[in-house]
Chains A and B, each alone.
Chain A
Amino acid sequence: MRVMVFVKATEDSEQGMTPSPELDQMFVDMGKFNEELVNAGVMVAGDGLKPSSFGKRVAFDGPSRTVIDGPFAETRELVAGYWLWEVKDMDEAVEWVKRCPNPMFGPSEIEIRPLYEMEDFADIIPPEAAAIHDGVGEKLAKS
């Protein structure tokens, strides 16, 4: 199964990166952890995200679309980085996350979310809807 692993932001990460010996060390530790993930065949993708001050949001309400510039409040709900992993189950994902060096200079949180896979949709989406979904894909592919 595939899981998305979110590194949650902190006040620090929202400030951006300032060079320091601690930051260097974190890069080394994180590099080693990433290497372990690659060597175990777990890593599919992953990146760090710039602070939300570089980000934008688009708010939807009926037909209206409103663009909101960052930075955004509720820091702890923001994402500072992500991985996409291939693991056997959630237990294995949890154990891998426990091995991750603390990604922040203080208390921090990492969240694991399983992706919907092909077979999950089989029971959720009725065949007619799946056919429409496929048709839309077809048009997109041909455009």
Chain B
Amino acid sequence: MAADATHRAIEAVFRIERARLIATLARMTRDVDRAEELAQDALMLALAEWPRAGVPANPGAWLTAAAKRRAIDGFRRSAMQERKHAEIAREADGACDMSIEHLEARLDDDLGDELLGLIFAACHPVLSPEARAALTLRLVGGLTTLEIARAFLSNEAAIAARITRAKKAIAKAGVAFEVPRGRALAPRLASVLEVVYLIFNEGYAATSGPDLVRPPLCAEAQRLGRILAGLMPEEPEVLALLALMEIQASRLAARAGADGAFVPLTEQNRARWDQLLIRRGLKALERVDALGGADGPYALQAALAACHARARRAEDTDWKRIAALYDRLGQVMPSPVVELNRAVAHSMAFGPEAGLALVDAIAGEAALRNYAPLPAARGDFLLRAGRKAEAKAAFEAAAALTANERERDFLLGRAAACR
């Protein structure tokens, strides 16, 4: 193999192993920064050795062993706090033991446990959702700071600073790289799922910038969702979030028209929906039901997405079922945004006046004051109720509020059509 091809192969191996490697090292050193450094050192060693000696049979184990040796050398070199370090080094020596008994003992501890521990640490509630998202994309997704900056339309320095602060906050709070057990699990899991869905939504419904969708960010969130579903196959809300993302992602190709303009759900060309993703989503949702999790917030949202996915034509949509699901979601996860969507569902199921009544009830909510979808929905109800002048004003108000250029064009188009 040419040197260049070997290097590329080694880097691909490293990318596959990186998250798990960092997870192992973070648990050992209790220091994410150090874990990242050690992982990078192991890559350098591999780049130096593998082209000569060949790629080892189990490259993951090789990289882990190499990084652990570096960690132990580091502990030993450090003269300060000698006793404490000796203690950790002994522990690390034990962890380095690759004997069969040791590996079998570790099987009891669940093989994916370390990776999950890393995900739970990166998504710890001591961090803001944005910090969690950046740290998760860095540590688990393996994205560079530049890639993360591009994804969130931020600059590299700001993202690098955000990640550094997040790492310090984790260290300061003494966050363990473990999967929380018992009662602690539910709120921590919610914090993880929130981050994954935030990443997905930033790709699916870009809140700003020239592009309507950013599919690579969606793919990254789906990958995280699939990893979680593989490692926690009995958690209904994990599967529900995966179902929700798979079904929503099935519409990515249909969501933007040929000119990049926004195409609303009811007007999308459904032949362009990805049926494989829909099937994966519906299958995951079935499993959620079987596990008794149909009433969870993500399960209800996935069920809503499934209603649209099952309708071959927009006019086949079961709006009454959608309205009922939103009624339930409004109780399980009360939020002004859910109420707004509930108003839209009711307008489709029971007529524009039903929608107007619900939307007017929440119009005073502080959280919705500058929320473009509210006047946009109101405009739609008014137009369908024949109140064109009011509809035009509502669409214009919505256009003035959105930061997404494509969406603004769409709303101004609707305003212009109110004659």
Residues on A lying within 8 angstroms of B by beta carbon are 35, 38-45, 84, 86, 88-89, 91-92, 94-96, 118, 127, 130-131, 134, 136-138, 140-142
Contacts and interface: CB of A to CB of B under 8 A. Distances in A.
B105 interface: no
Interface residues on B, range: 20 to 34
Contacts of B280: 44-45
B269 A86 contact: no
B258 A38 contact: no
Contacts, number: 68
Contact of A141 (B11, B215, B271): B271
Given A91-B9, A118-B253, A138-B271, A45 B276 contact: yes
B202 to A, nearest CB: 18
Contacts of A92: 12, 15-16
Contacts of B271: 136-138, 140-141
B16 A95 contact: yes
A21 B15 CA distance: 35
Given A84-B276, A94-B12, 11 more contacts: A35-B230, A39-B227, A40-B16, A41-B223, A41-B226, A43-B226, A45-B276, A86-B222, A88-B15, A95-B9, A96-B16
Nearest to B11: A91
9 contacts: A39-B115, A41-B222, A86-B222, A91-B11, A94-B9, A95-B9, A137-B269, A140-B271, A141-B270
Contacts of B96: none
Interface in B381-415: none
Interface string B173-191: 0000000000000000000
B276 A44 contact: yes
B13 interface: yes
Interface string B265-277: 0000111100010
Nearest to A127: B258
Contact of A38 (B9, B222, B224, B230): B230
Given A41-B223, A44-B276, A134-B269, A118 B215 contact: yes
B296 interface: no
Interface-centre pick from B115, B224, B270 (highest chain A CB count, 10 A): B270
